[in-house]
Amino acid sequence: MKEKKIYRDLIERFVRYARVNTSSDPAVLSIPSSQRQFDLQRMLLGELHQMGVTNAELTATCYLYASVPSNIPKEHPNYGKVPKIGFVAHVDTSPDAPGEGVSPQIHQNYCGGDIEIGEGGIVLKYDENSALSRCIGHTIITSDGTTLLGSDDKSGIAAIMELVKYFMGNSDVLHGEIGIAFTPDEEIGRGVDDFDIEKFGCECAYTIDGEMPPVINKETFSADHAWLRATGREIHPGTAKGVMVNSMRAIADFITRLPIEIAPESTQGHEPYIHPHHCEGLVGKSEVMLLLRTFNDREMETQHDFLNNLMAEVQEKFPDTKLEIEYKRMYRNMLVTLEENPKACNHLFEATKRAGLNPIWEPIRGGTDGSRLTEMGLPCPNIFTGGQNFHSVTEWLSVDSLMQTIQTMKHLCTIWAED
């Protein structure tokens, strides 16, 4: 009965968080990029206080920090020796799909096959979602097909909050100090821009921002952004002959020269990609923003060289159009740093086993706050949540898999206390 109540409480908690619109906004440069992210942070702050967490703090830039104190008694041989570890999740959801008016749909005891998730004919297709075959009998949560669900990363938030509730109510389970942090703007690459590692005070941390168990992550993409900008000449089309220079033609030519075999829709595993993500244009000025993703610095340099050469080819074809390209470093693969600090990963592997799973290390074809936190000196592997199809209206979550996330986190805390 107790396990069933925890299960129901987890569903209610996730649904409560999912209903809050927290979409981040890449067009806004301030932190947070949207004030609506405070709505969820204030809710979480109030719930932490209700649980008895007295040190929870919400900053002016929408970072929420708190910790559960160690309960290791003075007479214990490990008293004062257990390092503080942390758990991190982000409150914002992707702006790639609508985030207003999320209406979670609960599909209990999934028995296989397609799932109709909305009245508009939106279907979660079994043959497009291989993970569904591992979720027979699970409770599946989707949106109603008009918005994203927000499992990325409100499932991570729900898991961390359930972990806090568990340890605040079970003083007999020994653990060291446990830090938690909820960040804004992860989806637009700025999740740790104002993260205070000193305030967090952890030896290592774990982002709760993965997909299906038993996959855990110590390797992410390295990421850069590139902007190709074209400047032409605007003039009335009625008198344009020999004068107008349409910048959009050069941008369109550049995009069509990108080989399909290096696109995200054609790659998997450790294969890199170049992805034209956003394009806008007028006759006089046009721009395309590209996502560059690799797993090492050498491949990233190769992508830069490829784009520079491609721009030169387009420039030769359109000599009257001015072309320029700008690059911005976003984050780097966290594998090297984590291999230099193996304890965080070793303990995660063991905790996943104790949760009854056979852990598998797989690379993330994306990034997490942990990518940059690791780069900043805080080792930060990533843990599964049971979510799939992020950033889309067909996003879904297995509640049973999220329960396995919580079990893994509990074992992590006890393993660090034992060590």
Residues belonging to the active site: 92, 186
The amino acid at residue 237 is: P
CA-CA-CA-CA torsion for 129, 107, 148, 103, nearest 10 degrees? 170
Angstrom distance (rounded) from CA 13 to CA 159: 9
Quote the DSSP letter at residue 37.
H
Distance from C-alpha of 274 to C-alpha of 305, rounded to nearest angstrom: 12
Radius of gyration of the chain (CA): 23
Residue 140: CB atoms within 10 A of its CB come to 23
**Residue 247 near residue 190, CB atoms below 8 Å:** no
Contacts for 284 with CB less than 8 Å, ≥ 6 apart: 231, 232, 233, 234, 247
Q: Give the pair of three-digit tokens for residue 280.
A: 């806008």
Q: What are the tokens at 80? A: 């004062």
Any idea how long the chain is? 419
